[in-house]
Amino acid sequence: MFTFAVATLKPENMGDAAGLTSLVRNLGGSVGISLVTALVTRGTQAHQALLVGHLTKFDAPFRSQLATLQHSLTAHSGQAALMQAYGVLYQTLQQQAGLWAYVDNFHLLALICIALVPIIVLFKKGKASPGAAAVGH
């Protein structure tokens, strides 16, 4: 990215360009991380709201899983086994909701990357200078 950013600049402007490029990269990274974190949080809550509708006493797989967990935990916890079974199921619900939120964000970021590919055409080609090979390493 830095090579594209400074390809058409004169050598005396490289210091300013490096500073500006670094500033924009840091700001973009900070805003991007904040945005993705907010999207993951909101997505997790949305998926949790959708998934919790399946955790009712009228849902046969939920009743079966709850009974299995309660039976497994009774030996260790006694009377508290039912509440612990609910806790295990809630933790699983949160994990699944978080996973779906990350999948949604991955798809969104993949689409954004694909949409940005045509911008490459807008970059100007830099002029090759005799010392460019030594500087580029």
Percent of the chain with pLDDT over 70: 87
The pTM assigned to this predicted structure is 0.71
pLDDT of residue 77: 78
Q: What is the pLDDT of residues 10-26, one digit of tens each?
A: 888 888 888 888 888 89
Which two structure tokens, joined as six digits, stand for 94? 């949160």
How does residue 49 score in pLDDT terms, banded at 50, 70 and 90?
very high
More confident: 129 or 3: 3
